[in-house]
Structure 1
């Protein structure tokens, strides 16, 4: 469970950071982020990317409090 939460934490942080990098560099990081490809999020990409980073940090903190199943 702890490894799964760690992987989810990494994915959320990577998507959030990649989306912000895509937005602020004018589209250089096309392959990193999926947020800019979702049509109904047009105009809200920065907010969604910040939310993904916050959720990634929360999941990372939760994974630290979970005990290994061993």
Structure 2
């Protein structure tokens, strides 16, 4: 293991921050809408961002003490 790898492990370094968007308790509705101006463009909107643990509205970059990192590749 390299010195950098050891330092990262010691410090608990990770790529994904502890934010609501990376938490297993975060949920949202994904809405796909066609462009209002014609064409084939589809816009994706995320609505109803919620903490399923507390049942309240939240934002993707918020965080709390009950954060649990979801598995990479899962939504």
TM-score class, shorter: under 0.3
From the two aligned structures, give the one with the greater helix fraction: 1
Task: Say which structure, 1 or 2, has more relative contact order (CA 8 Å, 6+ apart).
Answer: 1
From the two aligned structures, give the one with the greater strand fraction: 2
Q: TM-score, normalised by structure 2?
A: 0.26
Q: TM-score, normalised by structure 1?
A: 0.27
